């Protein structure tokens, strides 16, 4: 075996070993409960630190120390979250409890709609489709209210994590560079330049994408709240929160978010339902045609068809979380491919 | 990080590069490269301004003082060059109407910003096994939809082959 063949064999063995180690680590982390819990806390802390980092950079440009700026930002964010927790959270919990009783009203509307459809003709197929739609919608609504209550209650149960996360976020912000340099030791020396470049590019693109998505969701949430408040629709906080949350998902999110608002508005009166749906449609058009092009960077640079496929795939794999993370994961893959393509040729 | 001084650059070297003015103020990042195809030079760069508004401006190469990890410019003057994205993906044909590949990158030098060559991509696996063909700019005519090679370089063919990272 010549020198070149031996070198190639070595490289292949190295790559296989790396992949095998990653898979082994993933299996261990997934199955060992303690490690899983730890990884979740670290991941959530990292995401929060990642989102807050631009604010820290801005404070540092004004001359504030790295550690002091981290403390200031965490302090302000904690106060903000505590205010939300004590003002919004109880109303959200109360509304979600009452929402289950309102589902009966929505069911009555669906039954009356079903009767209208049945009255149009005696076609067995149409009747079957209609009853399937009713059953699935009923299940979805029951599951939604049960899951929402469970999520809200379990958020209160994770008190330990809530106190630990700000501390971890502080260390990620103040000593992030040191941690990053120490983690880089895992990467082979010759590849460190490539990995550094990939991580730098990922930071630049993902940071702006995440902040813009959150900003758009907050704006949509506030505007939806104002619309529902004006038309005196029940559960405005819960519905606007839901619409804001679902708005993070491109293309499908606004539709998923608008449906509960419209259904709730219809329980008040048909006229309110129509007005709310018109206003929500105008909101979505404003967000899609005015706000988003101004705020969203074209660095994402993905064809809308590809985006839709990714969202469907993400939804099938991991539900709502999958749909939220489908686009960032695709951005990461695209950046890695671009950089490898650059360095390989 | 060890910084290399290169003589030949590609558009990817400038993508997402930070831009600052002479006072060190952060202006934005580079989003693209502008070309003057008639003179076969890189005319300027597209600057995506800082902030949420995402304003796009163009900077001339004459305003570039220096660049490395960060580009320093003297002034944001107007530049009307065609962006590289317009020719990226264009198909390249020879005089016998044979499709040679699609434009992926350009090579240009950093002193005069002269475009030296175009890198073609043919396909994922073909690029890995055979490499990406490099065509010199002298023999090319850039059209609206495609690029034409005037004379086929039969004596020497340039390829950029896969090598270690």
Give the model's pLDDT for residue B1.
42
pLDDT exceeds cutoff 90 at B137: no
What residues of chain B have any CB closer than 8 angstroms to a CB in chain A?
1-2, 10, 12, 16, 26, 29, 31, 48, 52-54, 119, 127, 131-132, 160-165
What is the average pLDDT across A302-309? 80
Question: Which H or E run contains A53?
Answer: helix A33-61
User: If pLDDT is split at 50, 70 and 90, which confidence band does B2 have?
Assistant: very low
A225 to each of A40, A220, B6, B64, B139, how far by Cα in Å?
31, 8, 56, 49, 62
CA angle centred on B51, ends B45 and B56, rounded to 5°: 30
pLDDT exceeds cutoff 90 at A16: no
Q: Which residues contact A175 (CB under 8 A, 6 or more apart)?
A: none
pLDDT exceeds cutoff 70 at A134: no
- List chain B residues with CB under 8 Å of A193: 1-2
User: If pLDDT is split at 50, 70 and 90, which confidence band does A119 have?
Assistant: low
Cβ neighbours of A207 (radius 10 Å): 15
- Which of A26-40, A77-91, A150-164, A170-184 reaches the highest mean pLDDT? A170-184
Task: Give the whole-angstrom CA distance, residue B53 versus residue A305.
Answer: 26
Task: Give the whole-angstrom CA distance, residue A151 versus residue A170.
Answer: 26
User: If pLDDT is split at 50, 70 and 90, which confidence band does A255 have?
Assistant: confident
Which of B10, B16, B160 is nearest residue A201 as measured by Cβ atoms? B16
Task: Find residues 179-218 of chain A whose CB sits inside 8 Å of chain B.
Answer: 190-191, 193-194, 196, 200-201, 204-205, 212, 215
pLDDT exceeds cutoff 90 at B91: yes
**Beta-carbon separation of B53 and A191 below 8 A:** no
Whole-model pTM above 0.90?
no
User: If pLDDT is split at 50, 70 and 90, which confidence band does B92 have?
Assistant: very high
Max Cα–Cα distance, chain A, nearest Å:
82
Question: Which H or E run contains B10?
Answer: strand B8-10
pLDDT exceeds cutoff 50 at A286: yes
What is the average pLDDT across A149-163? 63
Task: Give the whole-angstrom CA distance, residue B136 versus residue B108.
Answer: 11
What is the average pLDDT across A74-90? 79
Task: Give the whole-angstrom CA distance, residue A167 versus residue A72.
Answer: 13
Q: Regarding predicted confidence, which is higher, B76 or B45?
A: B45
Closest approach of A201 to chain B, Cα-based (Å): 7
pLDDT exceeds cutoff 60 at A332: yes
Q: Identify the sign of the CA torsion A238, A243, A244, A249.
A: positive
pLDDT exceeds cutoff 70 at B165: no
Question: Which H or E run contains A49?
Answer: helix A33-61
Task: Give the whole-angstrom CA distance, residue A232 versus residue A224.
Answer: 12
User: In percent, how much of chain A has pLDDT > 90?
Assistant: 3
A321: its two tokens: 């979380």
A207 to each of A201, A212, A216, A292, B21, how far by Cα in Å?
10, 9, 14, 16, 23
Phi and psi of A148, rounded to 5°? -65, -45
Give the model's pLDDT for residue B3.
47
**Beta-carbon separation of B52 and A215 below 8 A:** yes
pLDDT, one tens digit per residue, over A185-213 is: 888 888 888 888 888 888 888 887 888 88
User: If pLDDT is split at 50, 70 and 90, which confidence band does A224 have?
Assistant: very high
Task: Give the whole-angstrom CA distance, residue A62 versus residue A82.
Answer: 27
Q: Is A308 helix (H, G, I), strand (E, B) or coil?
A: helix
User: If pLDDT is split at 50, 70 and 90, which confidence band does A278 have?
Assistant: very high
Cβ neighbours of B8 (radius 10 Å): 11
Q: At what angle do helices A176-183 and A159-174 cross, to 10 degrees?
A: 80
**Beta-carbon separation of B2 and A193 below 8 A:** yes
Average pLDDT, rounded, for chain A: 80
Give the residue among A42, A51, A89 at the shortest CA–CA distance from A73: A51
Mutate to test the interface with A, among B24, B52, B104, B127 (most CBs of A within 10 A): B52
User: If pLDDT is split at 50, 70 and 90, which confidence band does B102 have?
Assistant: very high
Q: Which residues contact A233 (CB under 8 A, 6 or more apart)?
A: A239, A261, A264, A265, A268, A272, A276
Does residue B35 contact residue B88 with C-beta atoms inside 8 Å?
A: no
8-state DSSP, B72 = E
**Beta-carbon separation of A342 and B54 below 8 A:** no
A233 to each of A228, A264, A283, A314, how far by Cα in Å?
5, 7, 17, 33
Closest approach of B122 to chain A, Cα-based (Å): 13
Q: Which residues contact B47 (CB under 8 A, 6 or more apart)?
A: B19, B27, B28, B29, B30, B31, B56, B57, B58, B59, B76
8-state DSSP, B37 = T
pLDDT exceeds cutoff 70 at B79: no
pLDDT, one tens digit per residue, over B3-47 is: 445 678 999 889 888 899 898 888 888 888 999 888 889 988 988
Categorise residue A39: left if φ over 0, alpha if ψ from -120 to 50, beta otherwise: alpha
Pairing of strands B70-73, B18-21: parallel
The burial class, CB within 10 Å (0-12 / 13-18 / 19+), for A44 is middle
What is the average pLDDT across A277-306? 77
Give the model's pLDDT for residue B106.
92
Closest approach of B92 to chain A, Cα-based (Å): 20
Q: Regarding predicted confidence, which is higher, A314 or A136?
A: A314
Average pLDDT, rounded, for chain B: 84
b (16+ CB within 10 A) / e for B80-109: ebebbeebbebebbbeeeeeebbbbbbbbe
Does residue A134 contact residue A110 with C-beta atoms inside 8 Å?
A: yes
pLDDT exceeds cutoff 80 at A223: yes
């Amino acid at each position: 075996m010549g020198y070149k063949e031996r070198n190639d064999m070595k490289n292949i063995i190295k790559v296989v070993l790396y992949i095998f180690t990653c898979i082994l680590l993933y299996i261990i982390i997934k199955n060992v409960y303690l490690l899983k819990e730890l990884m979740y806390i670290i991941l959530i802390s990292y995401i929060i630190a990642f989102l807050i980092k631009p604010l820290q950079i801005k404070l540092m440009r004004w001359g504030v120390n790295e550690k002091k700026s981290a403390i200031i930002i965490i302090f302000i964010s904690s106060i903000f979250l505590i205010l939300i927790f004590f003002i919004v959270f109880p109303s959200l919990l109360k509304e979600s409890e009452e929402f289950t009783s309102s589902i009966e009203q929505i069911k009555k509307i669906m039954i009356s709609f079903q009767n209208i459809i049945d009255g149009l003709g005696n076609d067995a197929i149409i009747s079957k489709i209609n009853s399937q739609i009713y059953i699935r919608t009923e299940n979805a609504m029951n599951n939604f209210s049960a899951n929402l209550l469970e999520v809200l209650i379990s958020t209160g149960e994770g008190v330990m994590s809530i106190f630990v996360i700000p501390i971890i976020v502080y260390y990620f912000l103040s000593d992030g560079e040191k941690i990053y340099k120490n983690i880089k030791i895992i990467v082979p020396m010759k590849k460190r330049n490539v990995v550094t470049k990939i991580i730098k590019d990922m930071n630049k693109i993902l940071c702006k994408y995440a902040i813009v998505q959150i900003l758009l969701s907050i704006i949509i949430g506030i505007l939806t709240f104002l619309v529902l408040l004006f038309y005196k629709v029940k559960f405005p906080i819960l519905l606007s929160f839901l619409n804001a949350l679902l708005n993070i998902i491109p293309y499908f999110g606004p539709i998923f978010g608008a449906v509960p608002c419209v259904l709730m508005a219809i329980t008040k009166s048909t006229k309110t339902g129509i007005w709310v749906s018109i206003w929500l449609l105008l909101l979505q058009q404003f967000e899609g045609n005015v706000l988003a092009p101004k705020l969203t960077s074209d660095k994402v640079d993905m064809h809308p068809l590809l985006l839709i496929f990714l969202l469907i795939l993400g939804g099938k794999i991991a539900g709502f979380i999958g749909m939220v993370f489908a686009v960032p994961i695709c951005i990461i893959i695209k950046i890695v491919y671009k950089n490898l393509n650059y360095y390989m040729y | 990080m060890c910084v290399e001084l290169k003589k030949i650059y590609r558009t990817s070297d400038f993508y997402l590069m930070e831009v600052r003015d002479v006072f060190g103020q952060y202006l934005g990042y580079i989003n693209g490269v502008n070309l003057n195809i008639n003179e076969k030079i890189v005319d300027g760069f597209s600057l995506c301004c800082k902030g949420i508004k995402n304003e796009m401006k163009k900077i001339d190469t004459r305003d570039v003082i220096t660049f490395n990890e960060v580009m320093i410019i003297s002034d944001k003057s107007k530049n009307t060059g065609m962006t590289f994205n317009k020719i990226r993906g264009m198909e390249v044909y020879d005089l016998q109407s044979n499709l040679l590949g699609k434009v992926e990158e350009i090579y240009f030098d950093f002193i005069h910003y002269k475009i030296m060559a175009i890198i073609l991509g043919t396909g994922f696996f073909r690029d890995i096994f055979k490499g990406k063909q490099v065509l010199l700019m002298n023999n090319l005519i850039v059209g609206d939809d495609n690029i034409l090679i005037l004379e086929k370089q039969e004596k020497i063919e340039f390829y950029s082959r896969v090598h270690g990272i």
